[in-house]
Chains A and B, each alone.
Chain A
């Protein structure tokens, strides 16, 4: 499918929409902030219709004792900024949360640029104050999640209050939660907590002030998140809702791309039921030259001048891709899923020359090879039946942390070749692979910075798909660039796989019968040497 076919009449989701909107402050007065916290005094005089209560987060967090907050952890305020479209609604809701930063600087306003964009498209958008959890603290991201959910509860309360200006205006079945940094980790926990009746000794039925939640979360989006700073008693959080993550290669705060692990855990294959899907999608955008802080418009960059892309470029990328997500999941503009499936759809809208890597997993999929069976030689994954032959290519499954940092639990397949013409051949029994029911073949693959790959040169190979006597061949580079890893500010380079999507319609055009598909081969004929890592191969929508 060409760019024009894919986008049709699509307009950049990063451009303002046509809806007028009002921006208001909500807060929990009286709040006697001392002079050193003067940036928060705005929450002492909220819009009169938007006065909120306090919540008790003492079961989850202490407040940093080095910051003179005018409240304790038993009565923290519900403060924030809202952009509300004019009109009757009901409007979907998007709520942004910042991460850890100097608590003497109010981080909340840093996402107003995104709230204003979404409001102009007809979405109520808020950015919330979680600054009281900031400082040299650790393990408090469960509290950030609770604060995020309590803000959603505040919107539900206003929506259900007959005399309130937001009465009946909030569509509580269309909610997007977005968090940056530790707030990005927290949206994963919030997605998990949203379905719980209790967390340890804390009941979430409202009887002790917190909960109930059970909101209709359309997706959780994480901007440069941390991972596993808080770990539930049940183990690392597996995000149950649709999940989107964006992270920059020059991030010099969360320099280990922690969110990669969150992404891999979400909507992973269930080995006991490999064909069963939980009905959710996940998408990833890896942005070369983006840093950590410039996604928040008030945080000074953490990188030295010239290392990262300019702030306006980074904000533009956030507008385009978070805008596309919001339009797709909140406004049913399903055509914007094209941007999530393939970032090249947004090339004309992103800053010129931006290099991106993206992954997308649709809920409708069948794995041909997911590699999670173990570290033994690669196989075709059940229930699809077939064989794998490595012809001149060293194929080894590895528990390699492709992004450095913490150990991984996700197995990838490393393919190394030395001499053109080698191949990895998957032969399948067509009776076990209903390929004709899907729209595309999707392969996650990325090159490393090992010496077999030429620095700063795209990697390439040929994808051959055969049915009966017909074979169609496609250069990987015709589907997407396989970028050389961008050098990190420090620490190891990240190997970020790109999802290559080959439409089944193109196979059919080439005479390949998807109902009689016999083999898929990765033919390493474009470069003399190379090393690539593959995650999974699937037929998908």
Chain B
């Protein structure tokens, strides 16, 4: 038997969307300003990994994404604060199963501008964002390197 291989990322897309009620409560609890938008980061995978209990934790640089979820073409997570993208500018998405061995994906987060007050009401629901086609995702991809690298922290 072989060690599991990390997922391969085809594209990353960042889409502003309306916060859910649960998002609003969490954001207020975190002491952030009442949100106008949250950002759905869709990570399209070349192939989904088998469903197992052990998991590939997803990192942006050294920050572990605490929760992510499955959608049709891959996985996604939700960012509450646009500052996240500035903080992690140029950092790679990485996978790890043990917080020790890291697999660089060769992909970075696409930059995202914050959403102003005026256009917030036109933002899509997160559920609708997840149903969108993948063509847009290709345009928003930022490929740092085609070659996957493994690193140790």
Q: Which residues of A contact B (CB under 8 A)?
A: 58-59, 61-67, 73, 99-103, 134-140, 181-182, 200-202, 224, 226, 228-231, 252-256, 258, 292, 302-304, 307, 404-407, 489-491
A138 with B99, Cβ < 8 A, contacts A59-B22, A253-B53 known: no
Q: How far does the Cβ of B71 sit from chain A's closest Cβ, in whole Å?
A: 4
* In the complex, chain B residues whose CB is within 8 Å of the CB of A304: 1
| Cβ A59 vs Cβ B26 within 8 A | yes
Residues of chain A within 8 A of B100, CB atoms compared: 405-407
| B113 interface residue (CB < 8 Å to A) | no
* A58 contact set on B, CB distance < 8 A: 20-22
Contact stretch, chosen from B44-52, B85-93, B102-110, B116-124? B44-52
Instruction: Report Cα–Cα, A58/B67, bound state, in Å.
Output: 13
Residues of chain B with a CB closer than 8 A to A99's CB: 53
Asked, given contacts A59-B25, A135-B70, A138-B58, whether A100 binds B52 with beta carbons under 8 Å apart, the answer is yes
What range describes how many residues of B lie at the interface? 35 or more
Interface of B is mostly: loop
In the assembled complex, which residues on chain A have CB atoms less than 8 Å from the CB atom of B49? 136
| Interface status of B82 (Cβ within 8 A of chain A) | no
Shortest Cβ distance from residue B117 to the other chain A in the assembled complex, whole angstroms: 24
Looking at the assembled complex, report how far the CB atom of B36 sits from the nearest CB atom of chain A, in whole angstroms. Answer: 19
Across the A-B interface, the 8 shortest Cβ-Cβ residue pairs: A139-B67, A201-B29, A181-B53, A136-B70, A64-B70, A58-B22, A65-B71, A135-B70
Q: B residues near A, CB below 8 A?
A: 1-3, 20-22, 25-26, 28-29, 48-49, 51-58, 65-72, 74-76, 97-100, 127, 130
Please report the C-alpha to C-alpha distance between residue A306 and residue B73 in the assembled complex, in whole angstroms: 35
Q: How far is the CA of A386 from the CA of B75 in the complex (A)?
A: 56
A303 touches B1 (CB 8 A): yes
Are B72's CB and A66's CB within 8 A?
A: yes
Residues of B within 8 A of A182 (CB): 53
**Whose C-beta in chain A lies nearest to the C-beta of B27?**
A201
A62, A202, A253: residue with the most chain B Cβ atoms closer than 10 Å: A62
Bound together, the chains give a CA A100 to CA B97 distance in angstroms of: 15
Contact status B127-A65, CB under 8 Å: yes
A140 touches B29 (CB 8 A): no
Q: Is the CB of A101 within 8 A of B51?
A: yes
Contact B52 A253 (CB under 8 A): yes
- In contact, B51 and A138 (Cβ under 8 angstroms): no
Instruction: Among B28, B53, B66, B130, point to the contact of A65 (Cβ < 8 A).
Output: B130
Distance of B11 from chain A, by nearest CB (Å): 16
A253-B70 in contact given A201-B26, A490-B2 (Cβ < 8 Å): no
Assembled-state Cα–Cα distance A230/B64 (Å): 11
- With A58-B22, A136-B49 already in contact, the answer to whether A65 and B99 are too (CB < 8 A) is no
Residue of B nearest to A65 (CB): B71
| Chain A, Cβ-Cβ closest to B52 | A253
Contact status of A137 and B70, CB under 8 A, knowing A201-B29, A405-B98, A490-B1 = yes
Give the shortest distance, in Å, between A51 (CB) and chain B (any CB).
26
Chain A residue at minimum C-beta to C-beta distance from B78: A62
> Complex: how many Å from CA A404 to CA B3?
13
Q: Known pairs A138-B67, A491-B3. 11 more at Cβ < 8 A?
A: A59-B22, A63-B69, A65-B72, A136-B48, A137-B68, A137-B75, A139-B65, A139-B67, A405-B98, A407-B100, A489-B1
Please determine whether A254 and B51 come into contact, CB atoms closer than 8 angstroms. no
